[in-house]
């Protein structure tokens, strides 16, 4: 009898003993993430070129970005990646950076730089959401908004992640935060981000690369502009449709 009770106690003991360790690891992840955000903010503050680029992006100053990046060479590539990584914590229109990449480096190189940078930025947002978890993301973006998008992503799976990237339903980085917080598999998040964001990046990058020679008489300009408008218009219909089943359960 005593042996049986001691055996049961030994089986139960690892659970409570393990919980403080898990909690310690959890807070260490949060502290590391916050330290990374503060380090990034400090880097933006002390690097004049990066601070100028972030300021132009936040104000939607496309001409300012073009002038700044023109002639920077390899340093401009590093600055471009820094600007895209900053988007993980500072929201601004991604399109003006993509257009700048196409304008300065040409369509194919600019597209490669933009896709690599935006994938890295999305992964950074994912890791932040994964480390900070649901409570922190809910506190920043609101519990209702988080729960609606989180339930939609969990229900929709890979198809919804593709749609969210293909059609700009929600801010770019917010998708990463929520996907990380609800523990979407990293590989699924990565490939859906890349494939889903590719069409819009191609369109905007091409328009940026051809900015010097574009003419309103060119039918391709109107076709690409119509495609962008269609994507944004479709975004008003897609997310409510995916959210409806979740709302029906309430």
The CA-atom distances, in angstroms, between 196 and each of 149, 207, 219 are 17, 19, 25
pLDDT of residue 244: 44
Greatest mean pLDDT range, 8-22, 160-174, 206-220, 234-248:
160-174
pLDDT tens-digit map of 177-205 = 888 888 889 999 999 999 999 988 998 89
Q: How many residues does the chain have?
A: 250
Whole-angstrom distance, CA of residue 66 vs CA of residue 56:
10
pLDDT of residue 201: 92
Whole-angstrom distance, CA of residue 48 vs CA of residue 205:
26
Q: When comparing pLDDT for 161 and 157, which is higher?
A: 161
CB 43 within 8 A of CB 88: no
- Buried-state track 97-122, b at ≥16 Cβ within 10 A, e below 16: bbbbbbbbbebeebbebbbebbbebb
Q: How confident is the model at residue 48 (pLDDT cuts 50, 70, 90)?
A: confident
Mean pLDDT score of the chain: 75
Q: What percent of the chain has pLDDT over 90?
A: 18
pLDDT tens-digit map of 216-239 = 666 776 777 777 777 766 666 655
Does the global pTM surpass 0.85?
A: no
Q: When comparing pLDDT for 231 and 125, which is higher?
A: 125
pLDDT of residue 249 exceeding 50: no
Whole-angstrom distance, CA of residue 8 vs CA of residue 4:
6
What share of residues in the chain are helix, strand, coil (percent, to 5)?
85, 0, 15
SS3 call for 72: coil
Give mean pLDDT, residues 131-156.
Answer: 74
Greatest mean pLDDT range, 2-11, 54-63, 120-129:
120-129
pLDDT of residue 6 exceeding 60: no
pLDDT of residue 10: 43
Q: Which of 84-88, 95-99, 243-247 has the lowest mean pLDDT?
A: 243-247
Element holding 206 (H helix, E strand): helix 186-209
**Maximal C-alpha separation, the chain:** 91
pLDDT of residue 213: 67
Whole-angstrom distance, CA of residue 145 vs CA of residue 158:
20
């Amino acid at each position: 009898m005593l042996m049986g009770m001691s055996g049961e106690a030994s089986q139960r003991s690892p659970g409570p003993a393990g919980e403080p360790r898990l909690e310690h690891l959890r807070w260490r992840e949060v502290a590391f993430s916050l330290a990374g955000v503060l380090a990034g903010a400090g880097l933006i503050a002390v690097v004049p070129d990066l601070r100028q680029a972030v300021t132009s992006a936040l104000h939607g100053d496309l001409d300012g970005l073009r002038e700044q990046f023109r002639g920077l060479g390899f340093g401009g590539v590093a600055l471009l990646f820094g600007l895209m990584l900053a988007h993980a914590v500072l929201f601004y229109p991604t399109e003006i950076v993509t257009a700048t990449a196409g304008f300065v480096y040409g369509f194919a190189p600019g597209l490669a730089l933009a896709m690599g940078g935006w994938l890295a930025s999305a992964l950074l947002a994912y890791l932040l959401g994964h480390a900070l978890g649901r409570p922190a993301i809910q506190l920043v973006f609101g519990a209702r908004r988080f729960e609606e998008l989180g339930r939609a992503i969990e229900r929709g799976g890979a198809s919804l992640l593709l749609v969210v990237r293909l059609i700009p339903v929600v801010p770019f980085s917010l998708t990463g935060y929520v996907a990380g917080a609800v523990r979407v598999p990293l590989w699924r998040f990565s490939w859906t981000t890349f494939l889903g964001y590719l069409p819009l990046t191609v369109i905007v990058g091409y328009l940026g690369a051809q900015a010097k020679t574009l003419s309103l008489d060119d039918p391709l300009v109107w076709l690409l502009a119509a495609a962008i408008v269609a994507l944004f218009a479709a975004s008003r219909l897609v997310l409510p449709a995916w959210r409806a089943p979740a709302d029906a359960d309430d």
